Amino acid sequence: MTHSAHRRTAAAAALALAGLLTAAVPAATAAAAPAAAPAAAPSAATSPAALAAPDIPLANVKAHLSELQSIATANGGNRAHGRPGYKASIDHVKAKLDAAGFTTTVQQFTSSGATGYNLIADWPGGDANQVLMAGAHLDSVGSGPGINDNGSGSAGVLETALAVSRAQLQPAKHLRFAWWGAEELGLVGSKYYVNNLPAADRSKISGYLNFDMIGSPNPGYFVYDDDPTIEQTFKDYYAGLGVATEIETEGDGRSDHASFKNVGIPVGGLFTGASRTKSSAQAQKWGGTAGQAFDRCYHSSCDTTANINDTAIDRNSDAIAHAIWTLSAGTTVPGDVYETTADVAVPDNGAAVTSSVTVSGRSGNAPTTLRVGVDIKHTWRGDLVVDLLAPDGTSYRLKNSSSNDSADNVVATYTVNASSESANGTWKLRVQDVASQDTGYIDSWRLTF
């Protein structure tokens, strides 16, 4: 926090920036991150070509399943409504979404005398009058960890949401992801959500996609026979793989899509089978074992990470992403990125420091969904208060300090409504360390217009 430290960091920033600058760019202007979007002509990056959905990494989905398994193991072997493993599951998923730039809401309800929780995650942007939702129930039954039912759908939806963030997707529709509580008690959480949604908001939901049991160990590939557009989107995905599908018949209305369907919202979804037996015709087209249940561990203690078919959960996670990208008309590449990778030291329990990114050549104001990507290395991130400063000095709080957040680093994308700020000018990231002992530095940060 001393004057000399401040001068040292400023000099370091100038040196680091010098390596990034092209001749035409004024001092302290940042380089654009994507190779296709040089700082001097960032508008070249905005083109409304339809984007193909990314491949969802199986390893990431399986890592989520392992984490849910660990939560169950640490909490009496289940993640059921009203038990500590359920709330721990909610907290875990929420933290990942918060760090990825989602606006999350935990909705509480009461069922069977216990508090239940739905987690709702909105991706900023898109048309608020056309909301595309995807969801999965996050609760297990009391008798097991619920990894196929329904860690599988929960992990597939979570990794798709994280892929939306990695792509910084800017879809035409507004995207909303949901993890429901107390499905196993009779679709309680999703019913609560729908019943408490004002009629005006209900009518804005253009579709709800449900994923409940999508990694059964002896899998079938079942598509819900509901909204024709949603159904066809999933069938197209499977046709592209050359894998046959069948209509889901093992209990229509037995999962959270029913809560939406009952109020007239178009629904669809995927399913790999529960306790019903795979026929020999099904085993011929899909492989696996005829005469055996799709999921022999359905609602039992053996529904662990061993109860997952990798191919099935991989295909279905990719199918979720395909449907989200296709049905939201996800059209644009991220937009224009202004970044600095100049390191700025953050002094321990000291004065605030800033790092600058200069934006030029744009017209008008900044967007309502200005994305601020932050990468701060620090040994105790709870020490840090982080703000974005607009060119006119207006500050936007990105992160408060917290006495109990001992994790390392702040690696997150925040969304700021900057529509009252002019786009051009020098934007600053301001970071202050407000508690002693742990220190760090701003490694890089970026604005995406």
Residue ranges binding ligand TRP (CB under 6 A): 149, 183, 212-213, 248, 250-251, 254-255, 271, 274
d(CA 449, CA 447): 6
**Which DSSP string do the residues of 44-111 spell out, in sequence order?**
GG---PPPPPPPPPHHHHHHHHHHHHHHHHTTTT--BTTSHHHHHHHHHHHHHHHHTT-EEEEEEEEE
Q: Does 433 bind Ca ion (CB under 5 A)?
A: yes
Least distance from C-beta 222 to ligand TRP, angstroms? Answer: 8
Catalytic-role residue among 67, 159, 183, 231: 183
Least distance from C-beta 345 to Ca ion, angstroms? Answer: 12
Residue among 203 and 275 whose Cβ is closer to ligand TRP? 275
Q: How far is CA 123 from the centre of its chain?
A: 8
| Residue whose CB is nearest to Zn ion in the complex, by number | 149
d(CA 181, CA 178): 10
For residue 156, CA distances in Å to 278, 311, 314, 420 come to 23, 13, 8, 37
| Residue whose CB is nearest to Ca ion in the complex, by number | 383
d(CA 213, CA 74): 23
Q: Is 183 a catalytic residue?
A: yes
Q: Does 405 bind Ca ion (CB under 5 A)?
A: no
Q: Does 149 bind Zn ion (CB under 5 A)?
A: yes
- Residue length, the chain? 449
Q: How far is CA 122 from the centre of its chain?
A: 9
395-399/353-359 β-pairing: unpaired
Are 125 and 419 within 8 A, CB to CB?
no
Instruction: Give which of Ca ion, ligand TRP, Zn ion, none residue 254 binds (C-beta under 5 to 8 Å, depending on kind).
Output: ligand TRP
Least distance from C-beta 432 to Ca ion, angstroms? Answer: 10
Are 378 and 439 within 8 A, CB to CB?
yes
Least distance from C-beta 386 to Ca ion, angstroms? Answer: 14
Residue among 274 and 337 whose Cβ is closer to ligand TRP? 274
Compute how many residues bind Ca ion; rule: CB under 5 A: 5
Instruction: Give which of Zn ion, ligand TRP, Ca ion, none residue 248 binds (C-beta under 5 to 8 Å, depending on kind).
Output: ligand TRP
Residue 159 corresponds to which tokens in the numbers above? 């990794």
Instruction: Give which of Ca ion, Zn ion, ligand TRP, none residue 348 binds (C-beta under 5 to 8 Å, depending on kind).
Output: Ca ion
Quick note: the x/- pattern for Ca ion over 322-361, rule CB under 5 A, is --------------------------x-------------
Least distance from C-beta 8 to Ca ion, angstroms? Answer: 18
Catalytic residue numbers? 183
Positions touching Zn ion (CB under 5 A) are 149
